[in-house]
A = this chain, B = another copy of it.
Amino acid sequence: MKKYNTSPLSGMQELLPTEQAVFDQLKQNISDVYHHYGFLSIETPIIERTDILLAKAGGDTEKQIYMVSKTAESADSADQALRFDHTVPLARYVVEHNNDLAFPFQVTQINRNFRGERAQRGRFREFYQCDADIIGREKLPIAYDAKVIACIYDALETFKLPKMLIRISNRKVLAGFLKSLNLSEKTSEISNIIDHAEKVPVEKSTAALRELGLSDGQVDKVTAFMFTRGNYEEIEAKLKEIMGNTESVTDGLSELKIVFDILAKKGTGNCIVDFMIIRGLDYYTGTVFEIMLEDYREIGSISGGGRYENLASNFTDQKFPGVGGSIGLTRLFFVLREYNLINIETKQPVDYVILPISKNEYEASFELADKLREQGKTVDVDLSDRKLGDKFNRASKIAKYAAVIGNDEVLSGNYQAKNLKTGEQTPLMLP
């Protein structure tokens, strides 16, 4: 009889061991690629000062933040809360440790964050984010934007997903474009409409633009702009068509061109310029990008990020420009399972289970296990005193192979591994 509700709290991911092994493998894949690109790992505390977390945040974030009450023993003076992303702690970290860091600082954080969002299927309150950021001191060349995009794309490639599409924009292009239309002071409202355009019929977007007081001509141009996508040459031509003279967007366009050139040289996937990509409102100042699955648009973006002019402006007067991106792994894992899109070798967590017939075979079993471990295999030795059938039953739930060790095997030194799926027996090769 259960005495308590033992389910995890709502909004928390909790996996069975075989599922966890897949999740961990995906996380490891991302981490490996980030490291191969030279990103350095850091880990900041999950609990932070509330004033640090809320220095910039407003609205939703404040409502969703988990406050932590200090215990009697740890009566710090500061109010404390759980971090809701990696960016704010990274900003604090860079300011705190900037004298000990080598800039450009290529940094990765793969860890859990917390937001008390409304409960909803596929929405998590505790979730992994896999961030890769490059932080400069004073300045950071635009080429790094391409590096972050290439790195995150390569990380996702290890997932063996169906066709991915990288959509890249640059906020400076939008800013210049709106300036040319004398709409600069409506930038944030228009950005917001573009940001949501993908999810609504086009009439709804144009109606919203008209409501903002745009003339028919302006509505047409903004609409044409936001549907502008293609390779760099295509969009450059299209922009000229819409704007006539593209001088006011030169800066953003030349940044886009550099990013595109590098991605082309690196041979990074399928990239398009796509001015519908906005990535929220306040934060990004240049490059913005999203990666999606071409044939599963309803999933939305599976990763995104961009360039920010100043990481830590809330904490210091020093300037730390940066570019970064993130994979929201907990949500992504959930969605990929829903769509049955996880094709990585879902290896069972254990390679071999060794089944000694009696205590007399323990020594030989341990020796065999150690030899297999030296080969990098994961090996469980079943020491329970249950029937062999029960042991096989357990083994087949967690492992690929089982090896029964009885007196004969010990005497002959001939060990056989049984494939637990096919039943096939093969000799265990030992060095």
Listed in ascending order, the chain A residues whose CB lies under 8 Å from chain B are: 1-17, 20-21, 23-24, 35-38, 40-49, 51-52, 55, 63-74, 76, 78, 80, 82, 92-93, 95-97, 100-104, 106-107, 112, 114-119, 125-126, 136, 140-141, 143-144, 147, 262, 265-266, 314-317, 349-350, 353, 359, 362-363, 366, 370, 373, 376-385, 394, 397-399
Q: Is the CB of B362 within 8 A of A265?
A: yes
Q: What B residues does A13 contact at CB under 8 A?
A: 45
Q: Is the CB of B55 within 8 A of A68?
A: no
Known interface pairs A20-B43, A380-B106; A4-B314 also in contact (CB < 8 Å) = yes
Give the oligomeric copy count: 2
Other-chain contact of A47, B118, B126, B314 (Cβ < 8 Å):
B126
Known interface pairs A20-B42, A64-B74, A314-B3; A102-B141 also in contact (CB < 8 Å) = no
Q: Is the CB of A46 within 8 A of B315?
A: no
Q: What B residues does A377 contact at CB under 8 A?
A: 36
Taking CB as reference atom, which chain B residue is nearest A34?
Answer: B378
Q: Is the CB of B383 within 8 A of A147?
A: yes
Q: Is the CB of A9 within 8 A of B45?
A: yes
Other-chain contact of A100, B16, B47, B70, B316 (Cβ < 8 Å):
B16
A74 to B41, CA, bound (A): 31
A316 to B112, CA, bound (A): 30
A10 to chain B, nearest CB (A): 6
Other-chain contact of A9, B37, B78, B107, B370 (Cβ < 8 Å):
B78
Q: What B residues does A15 contact at CB under 8 A?
A: 42-43
Taking CB as reference atom, which chain B residue is nearest A91?
Answer: B6
Q: Is the CB of A9 within 8 A of B48?
A: yes
Other-chain contact of A40, B93, B125, B379, B398 (Cβ < 8 Å):
B398
Q: What B residues does A102 contact at CB under 8 A?
A: 394, 397-398
Taking CB as reference atom, which chain B residue is nearest A63?
Answer: B72
Q: What B residues does A370 contact at CB under 8 A?
A: 266
Taking CB as reference atom, which chain B residue is nearest A262?
Answer: B362
* 19 A-B contact pairs sorted by A residue (CB < 8 Å): A4-B92, A6-B95, A8-B44, A11-B74, A35-B349, A36-B379, A38-B353, A38-B399, A45-B126, A46-B112, A47-B114, A63-B71, A66-B68, A66-B71, A69-B69, A70-B116, A73-B117, A74-B118, A74-B119
